[in-house]
């Protein structure tokens, strides 16, 4: 097992810049999820780690060894593709055995390891089949088996679950997490699905336009997004943003004002336009006499899913969403005015998109 280090790597295609001076250190045994919207460069990073792409500048090290010019096959990493990339003309056994055959292992050793791995993944009864005769989930497992069987230094996952249906996706997610626990291997996982990112990651790296927007433990990123982009990308439904202005130590919006302390900022708030960021799950319908800061809103409509519900409302001209417990929504109806209180919020500079906290504008 080994760490992976990206040292100021850049990737250009002609005049198009995909990545610029990006550095990232992945620790041994860590499961890092690269997440971001499409075109953010996350797959490019993964392919550069794999050796399928060469960085225009910068170095890549695996386990301390510079592998920037090393061929993919000599980096001792395994990759699971979105398409699974199973060899259609080989049986499951042959597929899983392929990397071992390439390394000229003894046939006995190969079949021992293939059997072991396929048993672990629960596909040992499929060994004689060809990929065409497998279900999506089975193919996924074969692809994982092919990766695991080599006992590589690191695993790379390129959106491995996006071709599965929702139920299967959940289960496979669990299996990958379990695998990571069991193998203790370094894993780099690329996805555009923030849910996968949150549940799987030891550390989450959020990319945007070829730059790291923020990284950290998933919950830290969730709680303390450093930019509006992060705040919007992580969390579902996304964070609400309400325009406010700083007026004499408090933040004033459309028909409401909250103290600066409500966003954890003491002083030094810049002038100009600000956004109050409140997550839907932090909002509650205020009961009278409550001490928490509140927003004045008018209800548009209410959605109930049984276990909980969503309240869609407007604060002045701004639409917001609040997540309600099943009981909390009782008795509310569209058109009604309510006070929505919040326990937690963050302040963002509207122009730069950066969070405003104690250190001033970041």
Partner 1 sequence: MSRPRLLLRLAAYGVLVLTALVVLSPIYAVLVMAFSRAPGFSVVVAPDWSTFTLDHVKGFLSTHDAEGRWLFGRQLLNSVVVSGGATLVGVLFATSAGYAFSRFKFPGHRAGMVGFLVTQMFPGTMMIVPLYLIINALGLVDTVAGLVAVYATTALPFCVWMLKGYFDTIPIDLDEAALIDGASRVRVFYQVLLPLARPAIAVTALFSFLGAWNEFILAATLLSREEKFTLPVTLYRHIGAYGADWGAFAAGSIIVSIPVCVLFLFLERHLVGGLSAGAVK
Contact residues for partner 1, defined by CB under 8 A: 50-52, 71-75, 77-79, 81-89, 98-99, 102-103, 130-132, 146, 150, 163
Minimum distance between the CB of residue 156 and partner 1, rounded to whole angstroms?
A: 8
Give the closest residue to 214 by CA, choosing from 232, 231, 226: 226
Minimum distance between the CB of residue 115 and partner 1, rounded to whole angstroms?
A: 19
Asked if 278 and 263 count as a contact pair (C-beta separation under 8 A), the reply is no
Minimum distance between the CB of residue 74 and partner 1, rounded to whole angstroms?
A: 7
Q: Which is nearer to partner 1, 78 or 260 (CB)?
A: 78
> In this structure, what token pair is assigned to residue 313?
């409302």
Minimum distance between the CB of residue 80 and partner 1, rounded to whole angstroms?
A: 9
Q: Which residue has the tokens 């460069």?
A: 41
Q: Which is nearer to partner 1, 52 or 219 (CB)?
A: 52
Minimum distance between the CB of residue 154 and partner 1, rounded to whole angstroms?
A: 11
CA distance 221 to 36: 13
CB-based contacts of 222, cutoff 8 Å, min separation 6: 198, 234, 235
Q: Which is nearer to partner 1, 61 or 314 (CB)?
A: 61
Q: Which is nearer to partner 1, 88 or 289 (CB)?
A: 88
Q: Which residue has the tokens 């005769």?
A: 133
Q: Which is nearer to partner 1, 13 or 333 (CB)?
A: 13
> In this structure, what token pair is assigned to residue 131?
């990929």
Asked if 198 and 218 count as a contact pair (C-beta separation under 8 A), the reply is yes
Q: Which is nearer to partner 1, 144 or 251 (CB)?
A: 144
Asked if 213 and 229 count as a contact pair (C-beta separation under 8 A), the reply is yes
Give the closest residue to 176 by CA, choosing from 204, 205, 152, 147: 147
Q: Which is nearer to partner 1, 130 or 296 (CB)?
A: 130
Q: Which is nearer to partner 1, 77 or 230 (CB)?
A: 77
Minimum distance between the CB of residue 142 and partner 1, rounded to whole angstroms?
A: 12
> In this structure, what token pair is assigned to residue 45?
């990073």
Asked if 95 and 149 count as a contact pair (C-beta separation under 8 A), the reply is no
Q: Which is nearer to partner 1, 51 or 137 (CB)?
A: 51
Q: Which is nearer to partner 1, 151 or 298 (CB)?
A: 151
> In this structure, what token pair is assigned to residue 66?
């510079």
Minimum distance between the CB of residue 58 and partner 1, rounded to whole angstroms?
A: 21
Q: Which residue has the tokens 């500048």?
A: 57
For 86-143, give the DSSP string.
--TTS-HHHHHHHHHHHTT--HHHHHHHHHHHHHHHT-GGGTT--GGGS-HHHHHHHH
Minimum distance between the CB of residue 81 and partner 1, rounded to whole angstroms?
A: 5
Q: Give the single-character DSSP code of 239.
A: P
Dihedral pair phi/psi, residue 126, rounded to 5°: -105, 5
- HSE-CB at 208 with a 13 A cutoff on CA atoms is 14
Secondary structure of residue 213 in the 3-state scheme? strand
Minimum distance between the CB of residue 195 and partner 1, rounded to whole angstroms?
A: 24
Minimum distance between the CB of residue 12 and partner 1, rounded to whole angstroms?
A: 15
């Amino acid at each position: 097992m080994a760490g992976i280090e990206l040292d100021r790597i850049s990737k250009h295609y002609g005049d198009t810049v995909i990545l610029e001076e990006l550095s990232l250190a992945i620790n041994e045994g860590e499961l890092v999820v690269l997440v971001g919207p499409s075109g953010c460069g996350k797959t490019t990073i993964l392919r550069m780690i794999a050796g399928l792409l060469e960085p225009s500048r910068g170095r890549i090290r695996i386990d301390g060894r510079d592998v920037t010019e090393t061929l993919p096959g000599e980096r001792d990493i395994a990759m699971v593709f979105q398409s699974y990339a199973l060899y259609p003309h080989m049986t499951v056994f042959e597929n899983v055995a392929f990397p071992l055959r390439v390394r000229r292992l003894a046939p006995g050793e190969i079949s021992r390891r293939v059997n072991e791995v396929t048993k672990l993944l629960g596909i040992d009864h499929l060994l004689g089949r060809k990929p065409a005769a497998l279900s999506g989930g089975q193919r996924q497992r074969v692809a994982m088996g092919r990766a695991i069987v080599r006992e590589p230094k690191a695993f790379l996952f390129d959106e491995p679950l996006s071709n599965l249906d929702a139920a299967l996706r959940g289960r496979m997610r669990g299996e990958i997490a379990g695998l990571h626990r069991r193998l203790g291997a370094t894993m780099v996982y690329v996805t555009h699905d923030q849910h996968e990112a949150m549940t799987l990651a030891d550390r989450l790296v959020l990319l945007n336009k070829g730059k790291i927007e923020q990284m950290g433990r998933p919950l830290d990123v969730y709680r303390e997004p450093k930019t509006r982009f992060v705040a919007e990308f992580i969390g579902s439904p996304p964070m609400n943003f309400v325009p406010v202005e700083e007026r004499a130590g408090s933040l004033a919006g459309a028909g409401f004002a909250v103290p600066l302390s409500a966003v954890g900022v003491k002083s030094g708030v810049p002038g100009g336009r600000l956004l109050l960021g409140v997550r839907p799950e932090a909002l509650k319908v205020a009961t009278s006499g409550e001490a928490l800061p509140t927003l004045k809103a008018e209800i548009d409509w209410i959605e109930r899913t049984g276990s909980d519900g969503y309240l869609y409302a407007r604060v002045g001209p701004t639409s917001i969403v609040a997540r309600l417990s099943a009981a909390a929504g009782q008795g509310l109806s569209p058109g009604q005015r309510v006070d929505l209180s919040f326990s937690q919020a963050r302040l963002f500079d509207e122009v730069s998109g950066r969070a405003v906290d104690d250190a001033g504008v970041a």
